[in-house]
Amino acid sequence: MNIQEVARLAQAIRENVSKVIIGKQHEISLVLTALLSGGHVLLEDVPGTGKTTLAKALARSLRCDFARVQFTPDLLPADVTGMRVYHQHSGEFSFVKGPAFTNILLADEINRATPRTQSALLECMEEKQITEGGVTYALSAPFMVIATQNPIETQGTFPLPEAQLDRFLMRLSLGYPDSEEAVALMQRFIAAQPLEELSDVAEGAQIVKASQSCRAVRVDVDVMKYMAAVVEAARDPEKVRLGPSPRALLALMRACQVWAAIHGREYVIPDDVKALALPVLAHRIVLRGVSYQTTPERFVTELLGKVEAPTEARA
């Protein structure tokens, strides 16, 4: 699959999801970027903004398996990954696969589960496998976790630790629609349920091929140096207690390759880095103390204005 075919595939999926999610083309493109990068997405926003609907619309656009798990305080790790079951008639144990054995896994309200259950996702998110009873089971490709959480409501929740956040390629927020988008939303849903009528426009094998093709997108050395400089600036010891890891740097590079591909380019440019630095890096940054009055998002935006970008990249 060449880059132009990747761009056309991404456009078809984006247009299909946009039949349900109104006015969020940029956010849909970011989710597609995470999917083709082999990464995962944390959708963090207030209730009712379409987080779960976006995940369902993406899954329905792809001809592959989908599973949803509603995370609650009493959810156990085995409820996600699966468990060994004893069969009395044979006197043997067998492994019953859990909902994590799918292609698109929606972890709804992930911060309502206990840390023990949250950690059950670590292996499958990072290594695309699940180990149970000393046996390792590989997950099917593509595999993507889309997790949602409400940042406002904190009662009865368990904040994701930094190690878990680092497994997510991006953290996104959909936000509220503007007035025109709100009217379009009502018109779209007044007499129909677009999500139920949504049909698939791609299959899992195409996603795997497109993902492999994106790895061929060229990244100039000057652009690599720019990425490294941005990540290094995000580790400012005077302002940052925990900065982006090497995993974050590689995630940024992979995401930039995909972002270039879905826009029809065979090479990464500095603007790709600027477009993706915020969703890829901000959730991996813990600022130092309360004296520095800013947020990780504002901090990343400020450093992008300070780090000098290469003026020309070889195509």
In angstroms, how far is CA 314 from the centroid of its own chain? 29
How large is the average pLDDT for residues 150-174?
A: 87
Three-class secondary structure of residue 59 per DSSP: helix
Burial of 5 (0-12, 13-18, 19+ CB in 10 A): middle
Closest Cα to residue 74, out of 117, 107, 106, 124? 117
pLDDT > 90: percent of the chain: 67
pTM above 0.85, yes or no: yes
Q: Given this model, what pLDDT does residue 290 score?
A: 58
How large is the average pLDDT for residues 292-302?
A: 86
